[in-house]
Amino acid sequence: MSDIRTEWRAHVAAALTEIIASKLPGAEPVSAESVAAEVPPDPKMGDIGFPMFSFARSLKMAPPAIAAEVVRILEAKPETAVIGSVKTVGPYVNVFLAKGTVAGKILSDILAAGESWGRTGSLAGRRIMIEFSSPNTNKPLHLGHLRNDALGESVSRIVKFCGADVFKVNIINNRGIHICKSMLAYRKFFAGKTPESEGVKSDRFVGDCYVAFNNYSKEHPEQAEAEAQDMLRAWEAGDDETLALWKQMNAWAEKGIQQTYVRTGISFDKIYYESDTYLKGREEILAGLDRGIFYREEDGSVWVDLEPIGLDKKVLLRKDGTALYMTQDIGTAIYRHGDWAFNQLVYVVGSEQQYHFKVLFYVLRQLGYDWSKDLFHLSYGMVNLPEGKMKSREGTVVDGDDLINSLRDGALEEIQAKGREEEVGEPEAVAEKIALAALHYFLLQVSPTKDMIFNPKESLSFQGNTGPYLQYMGARISSILRKAESDPALAAGTADPGLLVHEAEWELLKTLSEFPKQAERAAAHLDPSVLVSYLYDVSRCFSRFYHDCPILAAGTASLARSRLDLVRATRIVLKNAMELVLVPFLEVM
């Protein structure tokens, strides 16, 4: 449909160019891109509408008169009659598509492309680095991390689907006072214990140490903080015993975090470590100071004036010459571009860091890095549970694995309650995929910038706008196609797309054809919720088609075969789009 819309825009542009040439000889031709296309509010008014308002001034004609003249020109062109007819509706040129021709084109395009359907070259030649996750090695991944991971992985898949060369990176925050707090608690309260000896997942074990420190600090606030600072100084001084404990606890944390990545389908092309990058950036800041880009305060600290971007000022080096997080991020960005020369670097980081990234991008521009103009902060809102806000140090966060386990167990109970164990084959594995669908679909259905409340019960529903509902549609479609393969009567029929004239068939066809456009839109805005919303539209349209249009019992073999082609095309679109938003497709459910 998007290709057909583009074709009609070109026809309308050509007609407008003809009108302009007759009135304004030598005027520039009208480009297809300048012709707006809309969907009429009522299908009886046509399939595509082209408003003529924007051409009224240059043509010195009323929009309805322009529309009438465009229709006259188009009706005289035999090539347009093949794909539809045109009609004026006030100031609009409305197109009524030739259903048989268009249905045949849509189905043949989708069925021929298969797994490639929807892929476009809109981002071809772009090298996009995406940083996401960035966990601390003092706790397991929690619900907030899961939203970050889902956004980063989904956006990566979407832009790659649209032709970009993608490089996914993760920076592990494995140093600093918060890490030392877990280490101190281990030494005080867990010495000699291991995740194996306690029967606890390794990252959860480290997180328990962090919670234990918080409890200790409530009883001995000044002493606890002083001891943690002593440990940080020992780490920075390279104390062997401290480094050995640091390596061990980081290894435990990373092992557990990696297990959660594998479980949720998250992967990276390169992992950076803050312990390797925290000293980067200092030389660049000093070079910028020499060039007059930055300035020194009286105490010797180095600052940048942010007045040009409507802010105050920001310190980049302390008075003793040591770096800050900003300094580190400046150096890391430069280092990464040397590692993999990107056109764009996308940071998937919470909205509370908006100020940080405004300053980071400005400083890099001031330092003269041309690629800095294409740095982007994909800012996302907080995610909480209905019970309220979570706090890591108090142990009130929702462990990511615990949440997925809970969703999995709920799905397994549903499978068992319906007696579907034999049909699904491996109930536990299927329940795990349903849990991931519930989680990812719910996390991605909201625009990234918005805060959200994750409701586990709602996410697991098998009805409505949920991941499991999508999976149910995919399983139903797969069941229909399996039954069709075993029906010899259908083999005698020949598909005829011209038979697909029912309103429900036509609505589904047009929706399926929009997938490439929706994928491009999601990529352009770095917003997976575009595709989540689209997937719900597809499932809603298919549900109506399934209800209104008998498939295997269509009446004639040709109509049944044609409707089966529409079912196959729906399956392709569902499967391709679900992959982009991390929702596993299920053949049986």
pLDDT tens string 562-571: 999 999 999 9
pLDDT at 101: 86
Residue 66 has pLDDT above 80, yes or no: yes
pLDDT-derived band of residue 389, with 50, 70 and 90 as boundaries? low
pLDDT at 300: 96
Mean pLDDT on 76-86: 84
pLDDT at 391: 54
pLDDT at 388: 59
Q: Classify domain 127-279+325-384 by CATH number.
A: 3.40.50.620
Sequence-separated (6 or more) residues with CB below 8 Å from residue 268: 133, 168, 169, 170, 261
Mean pLDDT on 73-97: 90
Span 316-366, pLDDT tens digits:
999 998 889 999 999 999 999 999 999 999 999 999 999 999 999 999 999
Mean pLDDT on 13-24: 93
Alpha-carbon distance 47 to 94, whole Å?
7
Residue 492 has pLDDT above 70, yes or no: no
How far the first Cα of the chain sits from its last, in Å, is 31
Span 440-452, pLDDT tens digits:
999 999 999 999 9
Instruction: Provide the residue type at 346 as one letter.
Output: V
More confident residue, 441 or 493: 441
Task: Give the pTM.
Answer: 0.91
Residue 2 has pLDDT above 90, yes or no: no
* Residue 348 near residue 155 (C-beta atoms within 8 A): yes
pLDDT-derived band of residue 377, with 50, 70 and 90 as boundaries? very high
* Residue 45 near residue 89 (C-beta atoms within 8 A): yes
Cα dist from 44 to 67, 69, 288, 500, whole Å: 18, 22, 65, 17
For residues 420-453, one letter each, b for 16 or more C-beta atoms within 10 angstroms of the residue's C-beta and e for the rest, the string is eeeebeebeebbbbbbbbbbbbbbbbbbbeeebe
Alpha-carbon distance 552 to 502, whole Å?
16
pLDDT-derived band of residue 225, with 50, 70 and 90 as boundaries? very high
Residue 485 has pLDDT above 90, yes or no: no
Instruction: Provide the residue type at 93 as one letter.
Output: V
pLDDT at 27: 85
More confident residue, 555 or 588: 588
* Residue 493 near residue 558 (C-beta atoms within 8 A): yes
pLDDT at 489: 73
pLDDT-derived band of residue 580, with 50, 70 and 90 as boundaries? very high
Strand pairing class (452-453; 383-384)? parallel
Mean pLDDT on 10-34: 92
- Of all residues in the chain, the percent with pLDDT exceeding 90 is 85
pLDDT at 480: 95
Cα dist from 569 to 12, 129, 296, 562, 584, whole Å: 30, 33, 64, 11, 18
* Residue 485 near residue 491 (C-beta atoms within 8 A): no
pLDDT-derived band of residue 23, with 50, 70 and 90 as boundaries? confident
Average pLDDT of the chain to the nearest whole number: 94
pLDDT at 100: 84
What are the sequence ranges of the domains in the chain? 2-97, 127-279+325-384, 282-322, 418-580
Residue 290 has pLDDT above 70, yes or no: yes
Q: CATH classification of 2-97 is 1.10.10.10, yes or no?
A: no
Q: CATH classification of 418-580 is 1.10.730.10, yes or no?
A: yes
pLDDT at 79: 79
More confident residue, 485 or 230: 230
